Homo-oligomer: A and B are copies of this chain.
Amino acid sequence: MIRVTVWNEFRHEKMEPRVAAVYPEGIHGAIAAGLKEHGFAVRTATLDEPEHGLSEEVLGETDVLTWWGHIAHHEVRDEVVERVWRRVVRDGMGLIVLHSGHFSKIFTRLMGTTCTLRWREAAERERVWTVAPGHPIAEGVPAYFEIPHTEMYGEPFGIPQPDELVFISWYQGGEVFRSGCCFRRGRGRIFYFSPGHESFPIYRQPEVIRIIANAVRWANPTPVTPGKLDWDNVPPLEPLPGWHHS
């Protein structure tokens, strides 16, 4: 059974009644509930817990981590970011970055770019199009589906070209966005998925939860084979005349 940790900043819900009205259980609660129905072993963690709920022990028991943050990216401590980064690139932990997580320390650290985008909060319609029909993350997802009220995230999106582009979004106000992007970094697989604002019940849409669940399965780590990612001074495998260890 895949072990998922759902991480949430969990500030909007405590500070803004209109957000608490949408997600009384917290955004993490909504995502965790959705993922449980897909058969994963799910736990949650939030910013204000000790070590942000992401101790070595918790991460050591996590196959795939989902990440939602927005107004407190800067409060995430660098050593925790480094810990998550190591788990992804060295151990292969999967990472699903959601919506405003595009500006999180862990995502920008992994991408190496600005991760900038255009945005607008106008409760407009979004239509998510599948551009990679046979991709595992698109399994059971129709050719397109609609999100009635969304925050707009528009191109250009300051990311490296995704290794696989799965979804592109259309917005009523006139923009487009690469809304579902796969990246492989070191041993780990990373999926960025843009739908999911704090003000709209997007994480209650079955298509959205299904995509996150598909991404969890896709990002589930391949067991690590020792000795594959070391920085190492190695002896020759073929005879080299005159060679001796220095």
A55 in contact (CB, < 8 A)? no
How far is the CB of A191 from the nearest CB of chain B, in Å? 14
Most buried by B among A129, A134, A189: A134
Enumerate chain B residues within 8 angstroms of A228, measured Cβ to Cβ: 130, 133, 138, 142-143, 156
Per-residue B-contact encoding for A140-164, CB less than 8 Å = 1, 0 else: 1111100000001011111011011
Query: How many of A's residues come within 8 Å of B, CB to CB?
Result: 81
A80 in contact (CB, < 8 A)? no
Within 8 A of B (CB), among A159-215: 160-161, 163-165, 168-176, 178, 183-189
Contact with A174, one of B118, B164, B229, B236 (Cβ below 8 angstroms): B236
For the residues of A in contact with B, the DSSP-based class is loop
Q: Is the CB of B116 within 8 A of A222?
A: no
A155-B130 contact, Cβ under 8 Å, with A113-B186, A114-B89, A161-B184: yes
Most buried by B among A152, A154, A183: A154
A221 in contact (CB, < 8 A)? yes
Enumerate chain B residues within 8 angstroms of A234, measured Cβ to Cβ: 118-120, 154
Q: Is the CB of B139 within 8 A of A156?
A: no
Q: Is the CB of B184 within 8 A of A140?
A: no
Q: Is the CB of B90 within 8 A of A114?
A: yes
A120-B236, A161-B165, A169-B176 given. 5 additional CB < 8 A pairs? A116-B229, A132-B184, A143-B228, A144-B237, A160-B183
